[in-house]
Amino acid sequence: MTRFTYPMLATAFGLLLWQFLVWVTNAPHFILPDPLRVATTAISSRALIAEHALVTATEVLLGLLIGSVLGAVTAIQLAAAPRLARLVLPLLVFTQAVPVFALAPILTLWFGYGMASKIVMAVLIIYFPVTASFYDGLTRVPPALLDLASTMGARKSQVMWRIKIPHALPALASGLKLAAVYAPIGAVIGEWVGASKGLGYLMLLANGRAKIDLMFASLIALALFTVVLHKSVSLLAAKLDGPR
């Protein structure tokens, strides 16, 4: 079997299960549309869906880029300053006790209904996973390597850039793969709270007008984008993990 066989089989199984649920429940199409109806709507509304998908994709990619860079820089700073880490890490953990979704109305109030609030939302939702995973990798370098570097007179900066960071790249890759899944969630939640464009906005608009088939089509478009994004980040992660 090729590497595409199992995804195709999984997709076929999911469609069959979906159709089976429609048959069993006998739900009306405005409650649970069948796959063919959704596919027809997706084709007829492809321009509309593509327009809103482009907005969401921009928000997600910018949020992923900014959040990943901020998370990586924070992790390096914390690993380089243990005292600072003991002060900041508890604060970062405490921030996770506040549901990020609850901040969406505040972010919309502060940054408006445009892209900015959705990008910030995506940044916030992926910042901690990237920071925590990369920091964990930076602080789990085998002591033998650090002792050898100390014996050879390596400076702290050399130890960080030549030993700790290369050793922690697989941990960073794991954080990035999580971020690729979480970032679309943050952007869509922001669009649900307040937006005039984006797949989240289109889903709410379709639901309000009882166009459930369009809502499903938008949801599937979002899912497909997330899968492609996760796969792309996974390929990047494999390259980060390659030299080891």
Model pLDDT, residue 244? 45
β strands within the chain, DSSP E: none
Q: Comparing C-alpha atoms, which of 229, 132, 241 is closest to residue 185?
A: 229
Top CATH class of 52-241 equals mainly alpha
Phi, psi at 31, each rounded to 5°:
-110, -50
Question: What letter represents residue 157's amino acid?
Answer: S
Model pLDDT, residue 115? 85
- pTM of the predicted model as reported, rounded to 2 decimal places: 0.84
pLDDT tens digits in sequence order for the chain, 244 residues long: 556 676 777 888 888 888 888 888 887 788 888 888 889 989 988 899 999 999 999 999 999 999 999 999 999 999 888 888 888 888 888 777 777 777 888 888 888 888 888 899 889 889 888 998 999 888 888 777 767 777 776 677 777 788 888 888 888 888 898 889 888 988 888 888 877 889 989 998 888 888 889 999 999 999 999 989 988 888 887 776 654 4
pLDDT tens digits, one per residue of 66-87: 999 999 999 999 988 888 888 8
C-beta atoms surrounding 84 within 10 Å: 12
Find all residues with CB under 8 Å of 167, minimum gap 6, and list them. 137, 138, 140, 141, 142, 145, 244
Lookup: tokens for 204: 């709410």
Find all residues with CB under 8 Å of 107, minimum gap 6, and list them. 117, 120, 121, 124, 190
Average confidence score pLDDT of the chain: 85
pLDDT tens digits, one per residue of 144-158: 776 777 777 667 777
